[in-house]
Amino acid sequence: MTDLLETATKHRQFLHQIPELSFKEFKTTNYIRQQLSYLDIPYFEPLDTATVVYFKGNSGEKETIGFRADIDALPIKEETDLPYRSSHEGAMHACGHDGHASILLTFAEWLKEQHDAGHLHKNVMLIFQPSEESNAGADALIQAFPFEEYHVSQIYGLHLGPDIPEGTLATKPGFLMASATEYRIRVKGLSAHVAQKDQGSSALGAVTQIATQLSQVQHYFLNGLHQNILHIGKLYAGEAINTVATEGYIEGTIRTYDPEDLERIKVKMEEIISATDSLYKTESKLTVAKGYPSVYNDDELMITVTESSRRADLSLELLKEPYLFGEDFSFYSSIAKTNFAFLGVRNEEKGFIHGLHTALFNFDEAMLEKGVYYYQSILHTLGALT
C-alpha cells in the first residue's frame, strides 16, 4: 500500500525546487512522466507540457470521473529558507501548484494499485495541466485533447488555501471565483509644442478622461448588487516636459461573475473611448483578451463534495461569498460538470500564514495527504471502487 504522506512529500519537495513559468514547465512535466512511467501508468501527451492519464474501470460504463492539477509557477523570487527552496532564480511555486501536482501524482499511484487489484469500478482521468497562471492552459488543453471521446461527466479540482484553516475544505455551489479578463487601451494623439498646444491632440488628456470615466462604470451602469471590478493597473502618457502628449496607454483587469456584466462593461468601455476620441481628437484602440470565465460549481456535485469531505475527515465550510480571484479551471465547465474547492493550509502556530503569490508562501505537507484522502473519498462516494 502506498505511503501517501511520504510519497506526496517526496514529489512536492522535488517539484518545489524546479518551478517553471507557464508553458515552459519542461522539467516539471519530465518528472511527472518519469514517475508515471516508473509506475507503469500509460499517459497521453496532448501538449508539450500537458499530461493526461486514463484508468479504465471494470464496469464497462462509458462515463469518466476527472481530477485536475495545475503545474506552473510564478515569476517571484523565493524568500523562504527551505532546504528544498527554488533552484530557479526568479521563479517560485508561490501558488501551491507543486502541492496540487503532488496530490495528483500520489493519487495516481494509489489508483494504479486499485486498478491492478481489480477494485476500480468506474473510469478515472487525471489531468496535469500547464499554464494556469497565464495564457489559459486549460483552454489550450481542451482544444488539444478529445475529452468527449472519454465521456468525462465531472471534473474536480483543489487549490491550497492559506486564508483557510488546516483541515478545512472551503467551497460553495454556483459561482466560486470571478472571470478574469485583461484589457489594454492605446491612445494616439498629435504632438505640438506646449506654446501651441491648441495645434495638437493630447493623449494625456484623453487617458485622464478615459480613466475617470472607467472608474464610474460600476457605480452608474451595473447592478449595484453584483460584485464587479474594473481595475486600472497601469497608466502613462507623454514624452517630454514641454510637448503635447502623443502616446498614451492604460491596462488593467476586469473581474465579474455574471457574463452579461462583462459584456456591459466592454460595451461601455467602447462608448467611453469613442466619446473621448471625439472630444480630444485622438485615436484610441481597446483590446480585450479572451480571459478566464467564472468558476462555477455544479449543484449536483455539491452532494458528492459534502459526503466526500466527511469521509476524508475534513471540515466543510460553505463560503458565503465568491472570490474575485480568477482561475482557468473554469474552462472545464464547457466539457463537464465541475467542482473546485480550497484545501485549507493556514496554521498560525506553525507560521504558515503567508498568502498566495507571496515570496514566503509555504504549508505543512501533511495537508497533501488530506488532499489525496479527499480524492479517494470522491471515488468511494460515487461508487467507483468495489
Question: What are the start-end ranges of the H helices in the chain?
Answer: 4-17, 26-38, 97-116, 137-144, 203-214, 217-221, 259-280, 299-311, 366-381
3-state DSSP assignment of residue 237:
strand
Rounded CA-CA distance 313/374 in Å is 8
pLDDT in tens, 308-343: 999 999 999 999 999 999 999 999 999 999 999 999
Nearest to 155 by CA among 377, 381, 332: 332
Half-sphere exposure for 108 (CA within 13 Å, toward CB) = 31
DSSP H or E stretch at residue 41:
none
Nearest to 44 by CA among 128, 154, 110: 128
Beta bridge partners of 296: 175
User: Does 95 carry a binding-site annotation?
Assistant: yes
Task: Determine the pLDDT at residue 225.
Answer: 86
Considering the candidates 70, 261, 328, 365, report the single residue annotated as catalytic: 70
User: Does 151 carry a binding-site annotation?
Assistant: no
pLDDT band per the 50, 70, 90 thresholds, residue 253: very high
Q: What is the biggest distance separating any 2 CA atoms in the chain, rounded to whole angstroms?
A: 85
Rounded CA-CA distance 236/207 in Å is 8
User: Does 159 carry a binding-site annotation?
Assistant: yes
Q: Active site includes 163?
A: no
- For the four alpha carbons of 78, 15, 136 and 362, in that order, the dihedral sign comes to negative
User: Mean pLDDT, to the nearest integer, of 283-311?
Assistant: 97
Q: Rounded to whole angstroms, what are the CA distances from 111 to 1, 39, 101, 344?
A: 11, 11, 15, 24
Rounded CA-CA distance 32/101 in Å is 8
pLDDT band per the 50, 70, 90 thresholds, residue 74: very high
Considering the candidates 133, 261, 298, 327, report the single residue annotated as catalytic: 133
List the domains of the chain with CATH numbers.
4-177+294-381 (3.40.630.10), 179-288 (3.30.70.360)
Residues 6+ apart with CB under 8 A from 11: 35, 101, 102, 105, 106
pLDDT band per the 50, 70, 90 thresholds, residue 163: very high
pTM to 2 decimal places? 0.92
Rounded CA-CA distance 163/173 in Å is 19
Amino acid letter, residue 162: P
Task: Determine the pLDDT at residue 352.
Answer: 98
b/e per residue, 208-247, with b = 16+ CB within 10 A? bbbbebbeebbeeebeeeebbebebeeeebbeeeebbbbb
Q: Active site includes 133?
A: yes
Task: Determine the pLDDT at residue 2.
Answer: 67
pLDDT in tens, 195-212: 999 999 999 999 999 999
pLDDT band per the 50, 70, 90 thresholds, residue 127: very high
What percent of the chain has a predicted confidence (pLDDT) above 70?
99
What percent of the chain has a predicted confidence (pLDDT) above 90?
97
Beta bridge partners of 68: 127, 157
Rounded CA-CA distance 246/240 in Å is 10
Residue 1 scores a pLDDT above 60: no
Q: Do 185 and 251 contact (CB within 8 A), yes or no?
A: yes
Write out the three cell numbers for 58.
Answer: 471494470
User: Mean pLDDT, to the nearest integer, of 7-16?
Assistant: 98
Rounded CA-CA distance 265/254 in Å is 8
Q: Do 217 and 300 contact (CB within 8 A), yes or no?
A: no
User: Does 16 carry a binding-site annotation?
Assistant: no
User: Does 88 carry a binding-site annotation?
Assistant: no
DSSP string spanning 241-264? TTB---EEEEEEEEEESSHHHHHH
Write out the three cell numbers for 191.
Answer: 504632438
User: Mean pLDDT, to the nearest integer, of 61-86?
Assistant: 98
